[in-house]
């Protein structure tokens, strides 16, 4: 029976696909059978013992001898004692800075910080504390606060200054018109700089950490 043109094309396509499948089957790599082992104690012992991986040249090489420990403070313009002292001053400053009472005057508030701050910063803090709107609200609401600071990082340093990133946690108490006292807790990140003064350290700058890098 003669095939039509369409039937011949279909038959040709089927033959091509069949040959392609047969070629793929013959050319596809197949795993070789594993060699058989005689049963017995020796064969079982060999099978149960894992083969050891070859030792690489890097692993076989002798370990590199370590040199003497490096004192990081030899590379910095301040000593470990300086860092410890400056950090202590900053933490104490944070506690005094965040603690106040509406019964305190600006001079009393600043004097509590004593020698922790430079005279110029003390004047700035006293001025901020006595700002009319802020002072009136503090007195009207009978506000008081306590707080502390936690150093989180050392942002910058120089030959005679260290700038710390500090999270200042402050709890503020206010008395409402109804006579009820409310409390609010606030955590703020500051950049606080301590400068070397004589044999000690004093805080000479405080600003929001987001305000800059110094």
Give the residue-averaged pLDDT of 85-112. Answer: 97
pLDDT bin (cut points 50, 70, 90) of residue 25 is very low
**Residue 125 covered by a domain:** yes
Range of the domain at 144: 77-209
With tokens 């002072």, the residue in question is 135
Predicted TM-score of the model (pTM): 0.66
Name, in order, each residue with C-beta under 8 angstroms of 116's C-beta and a sequence gap of 6 or more. Answer: 89, 92, 93, 96, 202, 203
**Residue 61 covered by a domain:** no
**Residue 21 covered by a domain:** no
Residues 196, 82: contact at Cβ < 8 Å?
Answer: yes
Q: Does 214 score more than 50 pLDDT?
A: no
**Residue 65 covered by a domain:** no
Cα distances (angstroms) measured from residue 43 to each of 34, 40, 51, 53 = 14, 5, 14, 20
pLDDT in the model for residue 34: 44
Residue 109: count other Cβ atoms within 10 Å of its Cβ.
20
Tokens (6 digits) for 35? 């060699």
The 3-state DSSP class for residue 182 equals strand
**Residue 41 covered by a domain:** no
The 3-state DSSP class for residue 74 equals helix
What tens digit of pLDDT does each residue of 165-183 get? 999 999 999 987 777 889 9
**Residue 15 covered by a domain:** no
What tens digit of pLDDT does each residue of 123-167 get? 999 999 999 999 999 999 999 999 999 999 999 999 899 999 999
**Residue 87 covered by a domain:** yes
Q: How many domains does the chain have?
A: 1
pLDDT in the model for residue 147: 96
**Residue 40 covered by a domain:** no
pLDDT in the model for residue 176: 78
What tens digit of pLDDT does each residue of 76-85 get? 989 999 999 9
Q: How many H-runs (helices) and E-runs (strands) does the chain carry?
A: 7, 5
CATH number where 154 lies: 3.10.450.230
């Amino acid at each position: 029976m003669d095939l039509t043109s369409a039937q011949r094309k279909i038959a040709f396509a089927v033959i091509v696909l069949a040959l392609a499948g047969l070629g793929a089957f013959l050319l596809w790599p197949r795993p070789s059978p594993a060699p058989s082992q005689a049963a017995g104690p020796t064969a079982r012992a060999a099978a149960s013992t894992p083969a050891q991986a070859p030792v690489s040249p890097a692993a076989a090489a002798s370990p590199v001898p370590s040199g003497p420990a490096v004192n990081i403070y030899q590379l910095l313009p301040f000593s470990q004692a300086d860092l410890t002292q400056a950090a202590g001053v900053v933490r104490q400053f944070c506690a005094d800075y965040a603690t106040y009472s509406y019964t305190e005057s600006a001079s009393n508030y600043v004097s509590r910080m004593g020698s922790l701050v430079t005279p110029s910063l003390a004047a700035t803090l006293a001025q901020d504390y006595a700002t009319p709107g802020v002072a009136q609200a503090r007195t009207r609401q009978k506000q008081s606060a306590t707080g502390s600071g936690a150093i989180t990082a050392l942002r910058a340093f120089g030959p005679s200054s260290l700038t710390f990133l500090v999270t200042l946690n402050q709890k503020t108490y206010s008395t409402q018109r109804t006579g009820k006292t409310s409390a609010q807790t606030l955590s703020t990140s500051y950049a606080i700089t301590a400068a070397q003064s004589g044999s000690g350290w004093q805080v000479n700058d405080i600003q929001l950490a987001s305000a800059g890098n110094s």
